[in-house]
Amino acid sequence: MAISFEPSEATKQARAHFHSIAREQLRPISRRYDDQEHDLPTEWVDWYWRNGRGQAPQVDGPSDGFVQVCVQTEELCWGDAGLYLRTPFAGLGGSAVLAAGNSEQKQRFLSVFQGDGHPVWGAMAITEPQAGSDSANIQTTAERDGDDWVLNGTKIFCTGGEGASQIEGGFVVVWATIDRSAGRGGIKAFVVPAGTKGMTLVGLENKLGIRASDTATLRFENCRVPTGNLLGSAEVHKKGANKDAKAKGGGKGFKGAMATFDASRPIVAAMAVGVGRAALDCVLETLDREGATPRYDAPPTEQTALERDVIEMEAELQAARLLTWRAAAMMNQGRPNNLEASMAKAKAGLAVTHITQKAVELLGPGGYSKKLLVEKWMRDAKINDIFEGTQQINQLIVARRILDYPSGMLR
Partner 1 sequence: MINFEPSDEQQLVISTVRQFAEQEIRPLARACDEQAALPAALLAQAQALGLLSNALPEAHGGGGERSALLGALVAEELAWGDLASALGILSPGLLALPVADFGSPEQQAALLPGFSSDHFTSASLALLEPHFGADPFRPRTTAKRTGDGYQLDGAKCLVPWQTGGDAPTPVLVFAVEDGAPQGFLTPRDAPGLRATPSAHMGIQALPTVDLELEGVHVPESARLGDAAGSDLRALITRGRVALAALGTGVARAAFEIARDYAKEREAFGKKIAQKQAIAFKLADMAIEIDGCRLLTWEAAWRLDQTPPAQSGSVLREATLALSQVRRVALEVTDGAVQVLGGHGYIREYLPEMQLRNARGLASFECLALV
- For a copy of itself, the binding residue among 147, 244, 305, 404 (CB under 8 A) is 305
User: How far apart are alpha carbons 17 and 30 in whole angstroms?
Assistant: 19
**Quick one: what does residue 13 bind among partner 1, a copy of itself, none, with the CB cut-off 5 to 8 Å set by partner type?**
none
Q: Shortest gap between Cβ of 301 and a copy of itself (angstroms)?
A: 5
Nearest to 347 by CA among 258, 270, 260, 406: 270
Q: Which does 2 bind (CB under 5 to 8 A by kind): a copy of itself, partner 1, none?
A: partner 1
Q: Is 292 in the site for partner 1 (CB under 8 A)?
A: yes
DSSP string over 64-80:
-THHHHHHHHHHHHHH-
Q: Please tell me the count of residues contacting partner 1 according to CB under 8 A.
A: 92
Please state, in angstroms and rounded to a whole number, the distance separating the CA atoms of residues 349 and 346.
Answer: 5
Residues in the chain: 411
- Give the nearest distance from C-beta 312 to a copy of itself in angstroms: 10
* Identified binder of a copy of itself from the candidate list 301, 334, 406, 408, rule CB under 8 A: 301
User: Considering beta carbons, is residue 117 or 132 the nearer one to partner 1?
Assistant: 132
- Is there binding between residue 405 and partner 1 (CB under 8 A)? yes
**DSSP-assigned letters across all residues of 70-120:** HHHHHHHHHH-HHHHHTSS--HHHHHHHHHH--HHHHHHHHGGGGSSSS--
Per-residue binding letters, 33-62, with partner 1 (x by CB under 8 A)? -----------------------------x
| Residues 6 or more apart in contact with residue 395 via CB below 8 angstroms | 346
From the list 50, 51, 66, 56, the residue with the least C-alpha distance to 18 is 56
Q: Give dist(CA 56, CA 58) in Å, integer.
A: 6
- Other CB atoms within 10 A of residue 359 CB: 29
Decide whether 62 or 226 has the Cβ nearer to partner 1.
Answer: 62
Q: Please state, in angstroms and as integers, the Cα–Cα distance from residue 407 to each residue in 174, 286, 411, following that order.
A: 24, 47, 6
Q: Counting contacts by CB under 8 A, is residue 303 touching a copy of itself?
A: yes
Asked if 308 touches a copy of itself (CB under 8 A), the answer is yes
207: contact with partner 1 by CB under 8 A: yes
258 binding partner 1? (CB under 8 A)? no
Residue numbers 258-297 binding a copy of itself by CB under 8 A? 292
Question: Is 388 an annotated catalytic residue?
Answer: yes
Residues 153-182 that bind partner 1 (CB under 8 A): 156-157
Within residues 331-390, the interface with partner 1 by CB under 8 A covers 333, 340, 343, 346-347, 353, 357, 360-361, 363-371, 375-376, 378-379, 382-383, 385-387, 390
177 beta partners? 141, 187
Q: Which of 64, 75, 162, 214 binds partner 1 (CB under 8 A)?
A: 64
Buried b (16+ CB within 10 A) or exposed e, 233-244: eebbbeeeeeee
Q: Is 222 in the site for a copy of itself (CB under 8 A)?
A: no
364 binds a copy of itself (CB under 8 A): yes
| Binding flag, residue 300, a copy of itself (CB under 8 A) | yes
Catalytic residues, by residue number, are 388
